Structure 1
Amino acid sequence: MRRLVIALLVLAGLLVAADFGSAALAESAVSRQMRSQLGLVDDPAVRINGFPFLTQAISGTYSSVDVDASRISVGKLQELSVSAQLRDVDAPLAMLLGSGPKTLEVGEAEGIVRVPADDLERLVPDVADLRIETLDANALEQAAEDSDDPALAELDPERSVRLVGTGTLPASLPVSLPGLSGGDEIEVTVIASLELSDGRIRTEPRDVQLGGAAQDLPNIPSALLSWFADKFEVPIDPGTLPLEVVPTDVRAVNGQLEVSGEASGLTLGPGSPLSAG
């Protein structure tokens, strides 16, 4: 009996190893295909979800496949990351592991492009150490109270963002500020609404505050606030979403701006309408 148990455990271990090994080979094949499909410099990370893999491989249908790529450059943006989840993927194992062209039929796809704070900072002149912060309804109500602007409380938290950075004052100040002169640095806090148009993000400043807790700056002229607001009103073009997914949403998540959307009925492979090459 003991020998039988040991033999079964060894067999189970071999089957698991074979399952993971086959999955790794298939993931590598999909990675190379997605690199070509998305026009990437490096192979993206690919994970075929579900266990056991071989059960899915025999049927040639996979419930979901995750694709992730990072350090992507688009114009001035240099650190974009891209994620795609492919659902209901049809791809025979022999085709995936073979040497010929790879073609994947995808029922649905969800794509996300993430813009980190460092990339957004590159688009905002005279501002350094930029942070992207999420807002909830309570934070907007507090901001409305602090700024005496009730309109802030009416903003949609999911389409709003707080941007905090270190700004450089203009060489010629419109009015004297205690202990500060042109060229000095000051904390800038901007509450902005997020808009999405033709795949581009646009930040629309709704409130600007200068000076943090350590700086008490009364009577800040509106011209100076508008000067900083103009710098934060920038269009952000993160490029197209993976697999020509139509962007439908933008929001601040975990210190980044995310653009996301979905598509259905895709064919991925050489010569397909979505091929990057």
Structure 2
Amino acid sequence: MGAKAAVAGFVAIGLVVGGAYLADGLARDEAEGRVADVITRELQVEGTPEIRIGGFPFLTQLLGRSLDDVTATAGAVTLDGLRVTDVTVDATDVSLETPYRVGDVRIDATVPTASIEQAVRDEADLAVTVDGSTLRASGEVLGLTLTAGLVPRVEGGRLLVDVQDLTLGAGTLRLDQLPGNLAERLVGIEVPLDGLPPGIVLQAAEVVPDGVRVRATGVDVVLEDAR
């Protein structure tokens, strides 16, 4: 083979590879746009979610009717009236045929202090802020300033908040020293996250600068059940 023929051959291969890469990228872009549309229709998303479909080549995934890796992010989502922010969804083995299934899914989101405060206010009129690695509640009780540390925890797939480090005025109190049934109302206060799709269960929670960061996971989740 002469030099010109070899160069022509390499150019032809380059064009084929480049064309395939371009087609792969265009198909991926279109699929990401469709996933964003579906998420916007199914969830109360603020703005347009960002979608990334991983794995290469994408066309083989499309032909196989299953996506290896999908990541979706959104600034805020409302779950049954509860607003959560900085939402990230990581999913693997996402079926493109009915029944639409996801092999593994993980959802990370922040429950802002305003949402936690609303849950606490249902039990006691306290404002909630973040104080380093803990939450701090404060308000007026019996004409005195009440402050308390709040500890989030997950139990049975529910997000609960317990009150501790309680001070009233200049003194420190135990919960059992509070009047009436106030002590019982300040333990296991639930922050409802009822809007999670079936099969996805809350696993963990930790305090972050904006509120409480939660993580939920699911295995073999049927998307149609979440509609």
Q: Structure 2 length normalisation: TM-score?
A: 0.68
Residues 41/129 of structure 1: CA separation in 2 closer, same or farther (3 Å cut): closer
Q: Once the two structures are superposed, what CA deviation does each residue of 1:149-173 show, in whole Å capped at 9, x if it has no partner?
A: xxxxxxxxxxxxx2135x2344623
Does residue 238 of structure 1 match 2:193?
yes
Name the structure 2 match of 1:146. none
Does residue 131 of structure 1 match 2:130?
yes
Name the structure 2 match of 1:55. 60
Q: Once the two structures are superposed, what CA deviation does each residue of 1:77-130 show, in whole Å capped at 9, x if it has no partner?
A: 3344544333222327xxxxxxxxx76343333344531223223333454461
Amino acid at match of 2:94: V
1:201 to 140, 143, 159: 159
Q: Is the 8 A contact 2:45 2:76 kept in 1?
A: no
SS of the equivalent of 2:30 reads: helix
Once the 2 structures are TM-superposed, how far is the Cα of residue 65 of structure 1 from its aligned partner?
1.6
Once the 2 structures are TM-superposed, how far is the Cα of residue 60 of structure 1 from its aligned partner?
2.8
Does residue 262 of structure 1 match 2:213?
no
Q: Is the 8 A contact 1:80 1:115 kept in 2?
A: yes
SS of the equivalent of 2:28 reads: helix
Name the structure 2 match of 1:21. 26
Q: Is the 8 A contact 1:193 1:205 kept in 2?
A: no
Alpha-carbon distance in structure 2 between the residues aligned to 1:57 and 1:132: 48
Q: Once the two structures are superposed, what CA deviation does each residue of 1:27-48 show, in whole Å capped at 9, x if it has no partner?
A: 1222333444x44356543221
Amino acid at match of 1:131: V
Q: Is the 8 A contact 2:103 2:221 kept in 1?
A: yes
2:173 to 213, 222, 236: 222
Q: Which structure has the highest strand share of the two?
A: 2
Runs (5+) with no aligned partner, structure 2: none
Name the structure 1 match of 2:136. 164
Q: Is the 8 A contact 2:36 2:49 kept in 1?
A: yes
Alpha-carbon distance in structure 2 between the residues aligned to 1:260 and 1:34: 18
Q: Is the 8 A contact 2:199 2:221 kept in 1?
A: no
Q: Is the 8 A contact 1:110 1:245 kept in 2?
A: no
Residues 226/258 of structure 1: CA separation in 2 closer, same or farther (3 Å cut): farther
After superposition, residues 93-172 of structure 1 pair within 5 angstroms as 104-125=100-121, 126-128=125-127, 130-131=129-130, 134=133, 162-164=134-136, 167-170=138-141, 172=143
Once the 2 structures are TM-superposed, how far is the Cα of residue 61 of structure 1 from its aligned partner?
2.7
Alpha-carbon distance in structure 1 between the residues aligned to 2:75 and 2:190: 22
Name the structure 2 match of 1:177. none
Identity of aligned residues (%): 21
Residues 59/172 of structure 1: CA separation in 2 closer, same or farther (3 Å cut): closer
Higher RCO, Cα 8 Å, sep 6+: 1
Residues 260/206 of structure 1: CA separation in 2 closer, same or farther (3 Å cut): same
Amino acid at match of 1:222: L
CA-based RMSD? 4.0
Q: Is the 8 A contact 1:117 1:132 kept in 2?
A: no
Alpha-carbon distance in structure 1 between the residues aligned to 2:195 and 2:213: 15
Q: Is the 8 A contact 1:192 1:207 kept in 2?
A: no
Name the structure 1 match of 2:201. 247
Amino acid at match of 1:241: L
